[in-house]
Amino acid sequence: MLCAPSSRRIPRRWTAAALTVIALVLVYGFLPCDDVYARIEAGRRTPRPASDPEPGTRHCPLPELDDVLVVLKTGATESQTKVPVHLNTTLRCVPHFAVFSDYDERIAGVRAHDILRDLAERVKVAEPEFELYRRLRARGRQALLQDPQGDHQNEEGNENGGAGMGMGKQDNAGWRLDKWKFLPMLDGALRERPTARWFVFVEADTYVVWPNLAAWLARLDPERAYYLAAPMASGDEVFGYGGAGIVLSQAAVRKVVEESRGQVEERTKAHWAGDAVLGRALADAGVPLVWASPMLQTERVWEVDELGAGADDGPWCYPAVSYHHMTVADIEAMWAFEQEWFRDVSMRIPSRGGHD
């Protein structure tokens, strides 16, 4: 049964966050419905004892994610401003992760790998999307101080090479380059952790509720070829939207890597959106898209209408797993709320038995 919101006024931002996490709680039966708002109110009124660990230290890293590799895809134009918040918050819950970029550097002590390094040199010299990459190789971060072609980022500095904005951000040099990372990052992920059973690919402005993801994956068979993502359309083509996160089983990754071997240039040049390139390669490998909306959201947590009706019967009825377009401040606020919430809620993540 669903909870009716309390008549007491709670700030809209925290109400949205509360509804998000409560959705998972109700679906998996972690907490009786009539306790939800009492716990929210009690948590807001009761300060944490000085002896308690800081938020995020009690349940992190999550052992349920030990067979998962999380890949955070970023680029030089945003990495120094948007990646550190994840290292201080969300990625603390992940036992195994890698940062893939277009520039080899260290960010808060963590290496960002140049995932384009192994592409054919003729591609990196000839293709116009590599203009920024060539500048970075020649002058390092100094190349970002001068922008002779008038390239610029949007106000969030987001260079997600997906298809969420029509024809994308064609005036953003980082965005145009980003589409070339999608197929190489699958090879890179397998090299990074070949024993992983699941691979989760996220952007620097993606927020994932890790306990929800763990509970979801525990119900699926990792031996099957799974391609889980929020659907996005470009013309007649439907593929997984990268900004909300893309979840692939090891079987799916191995199929698409084999299918695309020697075809990265041909496949990537054929489309302007990297997540569409990946979706087409998966389809050709015989791995269909499993629509994972509204569990994987294309919006910020504060913008989702949790009680709205529509094709998905309302997001309230589904676990909340990810959000997109999250700012650094959004991530910090949601992380603090989530850790306080799960600190007081007994997690009962299903075992690996009985896959759907």
Q: CATH code at 276? A: 3.90.550
pLDDT at 349: 53
pLDDT at 20: 53
Q: Where are the beta strands (DSSP E) in 102-187?
A: 105-107, 110-114
How many independent structural domains does the chain possess?
1
In a domain, 243, yes or no: yes
Q: Is the peptide bond before 61 cis (omega within 30 degrees of 0)?
A: yes
Q: How far is CA 64 from CA 58, 95, 223, 249, 349, in A?
A: 14, 9, 17, 15, 8
pLDDT at 53: 43
pLDDT at 216: 95
pLDDT at 48: 44
In a domain, 277, yes or no: yes
In a domain, 14, yes or no: no
Q: How far is CA 66 from CA 49, 97, 118, in A?
A: 30, 10, 28
Task: List, in order, residues 6 or more apart from 124 with CB less than 8 Å away.
Answer: 116, 130, 133, 134
Residue matched to tokens 């990052």: 185
Q: Give the CA radius of gyration of the chain.
A: 20
pLDDT at 322: 96
pLDDT per residue over 214-269, tens digit each? 999 999 999 999 999 999 998 888 999 999 999 999 999 999 999 999 999 999 99
pLDDT per residue over 263-294, tens digit each? 999 999 988 899 999 999 999 999 999 999 88
Residue matched to tokens 């998996």: 28
Residue 229 structural domain: 77-153+169-302+313-342
Beta bridge partners, 237, equal 234
In a domain, 8, yes or no: no
Whether the per-residue pLDDT at 343 is higher than 90: the answer is: no
pLDDT per residue over 73-119, tens digit each? 999 999 999 999 999 999 999 999 999 999 999 999 999 999 999 99
